[in-house]
Amino acid sequence: MKLGLEGKAAIVTGGSLGIGRAVAIGLAREGVDVAVNYRRHDAEAKAVVAEIEKLGRRGLAVKADVASFGDAEAMVQQVKEAFGRLDILVCNAGITWDGVIWKMSEQQWDAVIGVNLKGYFNYNRAAAILFKDQKSGKIVNISSINGLRGKFAQTNYAASKGGEIALSKSLAKELGKFNVNVNVVAPGMVLTEMMEKIPAEFKNTALAETVLGRFADPADVADLVAFLCSDRSRHITGEVIKIDGGQYI
């Protein structure tokens, strides 16, 4: 059964790979025109746009640095002009640069916070201005269970993900009276390209933590995001929904 998203328009940051790719294609399947933000993966971003267009929707790939305040403003404006509207923002772009804090450099901290937290602020702010004026919109910020519980050797990443949650809750309060929903999806371990770089011992530990005994597929996350972008979730805002196979329990 369709979610009633036909004719809507969305931005998905970090949309060339992994969760972002699955979200972009999942929204297109629901009838949404989708603009994909990316920074380095040109071929992959173009491939996602091709998949979107195969589904009969309009696709757009925009190369932009999410950590750039100006790039975010420009992309939101570009997408609104290209599609004639913007209804949905999904912030997903993120990086990791792990290390215990006594070995973590200022560069490691600044890079992760700049992309993962400032990047979310940049796009949430730019979309909020538009959504407030049109009195409608859906924002879904992809965080992590490690933003709720912390993680060894990830003070920068966990802090950024926890910050995304606080940002989202505050924004939900600010935008509620304008008919704008803001929610957070907090995955556990997901089978993405980023996961391939994780040592086997850490993956095995994470798998042992899950109640269901499996990792999420990006499509699992995409299905939840699509629901939160639809009017079926119209009375849900400021929530953090874990999708982790019971890993957090």
Contact 44, 122 (CB under 8 A): no
Structure confidence at residue 168 (pLDDT) = 99
Contact 227, 8 (CB under 8 A): no
Any alpha helices (H) in 68-154, and if so which ranges? 69-83, 106-113, 119-134, 146-149
CA distances from 132 to 76, 106, 113, 208, 236 (A): 14, 36, 26, 44, 18
Split into its structural domains, the chain has a count of 1
- Asked if the structure places residue 206 within a domain, the reply is no
CA distance 130 to 80: 9
- Asked if the structure places residue 18 within a domain, the reply is yes
- Asked if the structure places residue 84 within a domain, the reply is yes
- Asked if the structure places residue 2 within a domain, the reply is no
Tens of pLDDT, residue by residue, the chain (249 residues) = 799 999 999 999 999 999 999 999 999 999 999 999 999 999 999 999 999 999 999 999 999 999 999 999 999 999 999 999 999 999 999 999 999 999 999 999 999 999 999 999 999 999 999 999 999 999 999 999 999 999 999 999 999 999 999 999 999 999 999 999 999 999 999 998 877 778 888 889 999 999 999 999 999 999 999 999 999 999 999 999 999 999 999
| pTM (two decimals) | 0.97
- Annotation marks residue 120 as catalytic: no
Which is the catalytic residue, given 38, 120, 123, 157? Answer: 157
Structure confidence at residue 24 (pLDDT) = 98
Contact 100, 112 (CB under 8 A): no
CATH code for position 135: 3.40.50.720
Report the Cα–Cα distance between both ends of the chain, in Å, rounded. 31
Structure confidence at residue 164 (pLDDT) = 98
Structure confidence at residue 35 (pLDDT) = 98
Domain limits at 82? 9-190+218-240
Contact 43, 16 (CB under 8 A): no
- Asked if the structure places residue 212 within a domain, the reply is no
CA distance 170 to 6: 29
- Asked if the structure places residue 162 within a domain, the reply is yes
CA distance 249 to 41: 35
238: Cβ contacts below 8 Å, ≥ 6 apart: 168, 169, 172, 173, 176, 182, 183
Structure confidence at residue 198 (pLDDT) = 80
Q: Give the SS3 label for residue 62.
A: strand
